[in-house]
């Protein structure tokens, strides 16, 4: 199957922002304009993450999704602050094709099964914000732990064991966010990708660390089915088309 290249729009109060390790956020533009740009460049999908995820910002997110769905015709995944089956229903009605869950699923894993049973596995993306266990932190078998609240809170839960459980409960895809690599532009966390690939059969989307065209192929060769990036696209380091051309040169199938 063709690998996918997915721009990610981190949305805060209706604007796209980007930082390093989820800190030092700066404005990156209007989400609908960026969505149109990436659609024209040949993006396979788009992911919106509502990073503020407050109740006051939720309607803003619905509006962004509605306006984007009117403008582009590639699949949209929306995540951030999704806590209930009703939240998923509202986002799908606004125009999302898939919905990401993270913090609420860690607090109550049965939410994954409830969403999958109502809407189907193909709708549900498990967003896992993983990082290496900090010195002095609670050790895990893989050396990685899953975090919550935008990577700010460690859980002590083994990240690899968590994504395996989530897939068993009904998650149709794993959006694997490396919190250590996020925004650094030093490349994807290949060790983390390989560990997760070894325990799940569902598609894995690698996220965090892309800084150059050359960084994408190694993530796919490590076991990812798709690659997701934000600032490298937003600030003009490379285009979706350039990434796809490099993947073809590596013998990887692209659309």
Annotated catalytic sites, by residue?
Answer: 10, 129
User: DSSP strand E in 113-231: where?
Assistant: 124-132, 144-148, 153-158, 173-178, 204-207, 226-229
- Kindly state the tokens that stand for 146: 């899953």
Q: Number of helices (H) and strands (E), helices first, in the chain?
A: 10, 12
Rg of the chain in Å (alpha carbons) = 17
Task: Give the tokens for residue 161.
Answer: 């064991």
Cα distances (Å, whole numbers) of residue 160 to 7, 176, 193, 211, 219? 24, 10, 10, 25, 17
Count of CB atoms within 10 A of residue 89's CB?
Answer: 14
CA distances in angstroms from 66 to 14, 69, 170, 196, listed in the order given: 12, 5, 27, 33
Distance of alpha carbon 204 from alpha carbon 89, whole angstroms: 24
**CA distances from residue 246 to 74, 241, 252 in whole angstroms, order as listed:** 22, 9, 9
65: Cβ–Cβ under 8 A, 6 or more apart, which residues?
48, 76, 78, 91, 94, 95, 96
């Amino acid at each position: 199957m063709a690998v996918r290249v997915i721009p990610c729009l981190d949305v805060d109060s209706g604007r796209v922002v980007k930082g390093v390790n989820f800190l030092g956020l700066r404005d990156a533009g209007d989400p609908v304009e960026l969505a149109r740009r990436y659609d024209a460049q040949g993006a396979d999908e788009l992911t919106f993450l509502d990073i503020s995820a407050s109740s006051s910002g939720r309607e803003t997110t619905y509006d962004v999704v509605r306006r984007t769905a009117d403008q582009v015709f590639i699949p949209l995944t929306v995540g951030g602050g999704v806590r209930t089956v009703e939240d998923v229903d509202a986002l799908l009605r606004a125009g999302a094709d898939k919905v990401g869950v993270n913090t609420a699923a860690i607090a109550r894993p049965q939410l994954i099964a409830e969403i999958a049973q109502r809407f189907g596995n193909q709708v549900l993306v498990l967003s896992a914000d993983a990082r290496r266990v900090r010195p002095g932190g609670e050790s895990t078998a893989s050396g990685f732990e899953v975090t919550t609240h935008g990577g700010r809170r460690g859980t002590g839960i083994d990240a690899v064991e968590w994504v395996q459980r989530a897939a068993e409960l009904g998650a149709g895809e794993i959006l694997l966010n490396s919190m250590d690599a996020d925004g650094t532009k030093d490349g994807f966390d290949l060790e983390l990708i390989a560990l997760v690939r070894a325990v799940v059969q569902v598609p894995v989307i690698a996220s965090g660390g892309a800084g150059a065209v050359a960084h994408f192929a190694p993530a796919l060769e490590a076991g990812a089915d798709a690659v997701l990036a934000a600032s490298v696209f937003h600030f003009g380091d490379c285009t979706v088309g350039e990434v796809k051309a490099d993947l073809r040169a590596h013998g990887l199938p692209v659309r």
